[in-house]
Amino acid sequence: MVLSRPASESDLSVLSTSASRYVRDSLPRYKMPESSIPKEAAYQIIHDELLLDCKPKLNLASFVTTLMEPECDKLVMESINKNYVDMDEYPVTTELHNRCVNMIARLFHTPLRESEDAIGVGTVGSSEAIMLAGLAFKRKWQNKRKAEGKPYDKPNIVTGANVQVCWEKFARYFEVELKEVNVREGYYVMDPAKAVEMVDENTICVAAILGSTYNGEFEDVKLLNDLLLEKNKQTGWDTPIHVDAASGGFIAPFIYPELEWDFRLPLVKSINVSGHKYGLVYAGIGWNIWRSKDDLPEELIFHIKYLGAEQSTFTLNFSKGSSQIIAQYYQLIRLGQEGYKNIMENCHENAMVLKEGLEKTGRFEILSKDDGVPVVAFSLKNKKGGHDEFVVSEMLRRFGWIVPAYPMPAGAQHVIVLRVVIRAEFSRTLAERLVHDITTVLHELDKLPPKVTSEVEENGNNGVVSKRKSDLETQREVTTLWKNYVTAQKEIKRPKVMAS
């Protein structure tokens, strides 16, 4: 235990952290301090600085769960000191992990007998799950090519340009060519027909996205499966499919049960899903499920003996906390299919409330679909005065909202969108409030002067070059206009206050 002592006798009489010398000086930022400080001071200083972060509940950029029940929070804290990798020491935690794998596998219609165990693993998130799935596909493809006496040094993977960055990481880190199908305006997901055209003998798999990061749209895995089956039949290849269901894996089974995207399709060999998204667990848990044992090469599995008993492991991370695994099991048994269905339906309904509110303004084009992940992606129809979606995003921060603005992927990069992710903890009241605040921002934008995009403008008729306003000058002008507007509003309201 580290014991701290006061640096001077005078500190002994100071009971209030706010009056102590520790909050009067800046703490070291790049070098560990020589002396320790009281635990109360360390807590308060860090606590106060963290207040500058946004409120997680209003962070509408993130898919990650920010609220769980107190009972689940209690389980998390009770198990926060358990290292999951110590399976022999924590056998019950291991058992809960295996129960989660089996429940999720059956949710995805894995072809298993009643008492048969599913093949899957808990991960830090979907990024690790995708790395593991990609490695399994690469190794299986290499083994097949070696057996056939063919080159195995140029593997590739086919995806849409709308994939999450973890797919680019996989390709770069594990030396796999990433072949991307560009999107196009009005169609912002992978076109299955174009994806199959890109497939060749070196393709280790085609990755389909069940819930695009950009607009929440589900890709057509069924059509992809059918087209790829036909190509495999013609070529003699056996190119498989991986489904990245990071966002949609805990949505589709409950509100779109008839949609065929999972192991009901024969070419789908593995699926990843994020427990910390619509699995309703705090950040730090993902899952990868394989169709069968044959789809996970044995040589990728490590058997270790130095933790007390022989254990099998297939992960990129070794040590890992147990809390999120236990929290996932809590949510699965606490909510059941009924609870997940109710929550996902509520998320979808709130997304529709937001969508309809935005449509009523007449100022936005909706780029998301009604069916899919409860995400509302939208762009301005008319960028008055050059004020675009990035300006709207920045102005919404004044109300506490974090609403990201970004360009669409390759093929439609000229399209800029704003995106709101509707999570379980996002209420109907908040959806209505967000519409109100966006409407307020639109009214404010209409009063701003046109945005200046360059410093120098050349007159094409007479060659005269005139200096235009700099960014700083424009900023000062906008600030002055805004102050004048606020002052005028106060003057209008003042007589009402006095009269009341």
Model pTM score: 0.85
Confidence of residue 463 (pLDDT cuts 50, 70, 90): very low
Fold matches, 73-334 and 345-446: no
Q: Bridge-partner residues for 180, per DSSP?
A: 159
| Domain range summary for the chain, segments of one domain joined by + | 73-334, 345-446
pLDDT in tens, 30-83: 999 888 888 888 888 888 889 998 899 999 999 999 999 999 999 999 999 998
pLDDT greater than 80 at residue 395: yes
User: How much is the pLDDT for 484?
Assistant: 65
Q: What kind of fold does domain 73-334 have according to CATH?
A: Aspartate Aminotransferase; domain 2 (3.40.640)
pLDDT band of residue 490 (cuts 50, 70, 90) is low
Q: What is the pLDDT of residues 161-208, one digit of tens each?
A: 999 999 999 999 999 999 999 999 999 999 999 999 999 999 999 999
> Rounded CA gap, 324 and 220, in Å?
31
pLDDT in tens, 337-382: 999 999 999 999 999 999 999 999 999 999 999 999 999 999 999 8
Dihedral through CA 15, CA 18, CA 20, CA 23, nearest 10?
150
**Which pLDDT belongs to residue 99?**
96
Quote the CA–CA distance of 353 and 359 in Å, as a whole number: 10
Cα separation of 250 and 273, whole Å? 7
pLDDT for residue 385: 79
CA–CA separation, 133 and 241 (whole Å): 11
CATH of region 345-446: 3.90.1150.160
pLDDT, one tens digit per residue, over 101-113 is: 999 999 999 999 8
Greater model confidence, 22 or 401: 401
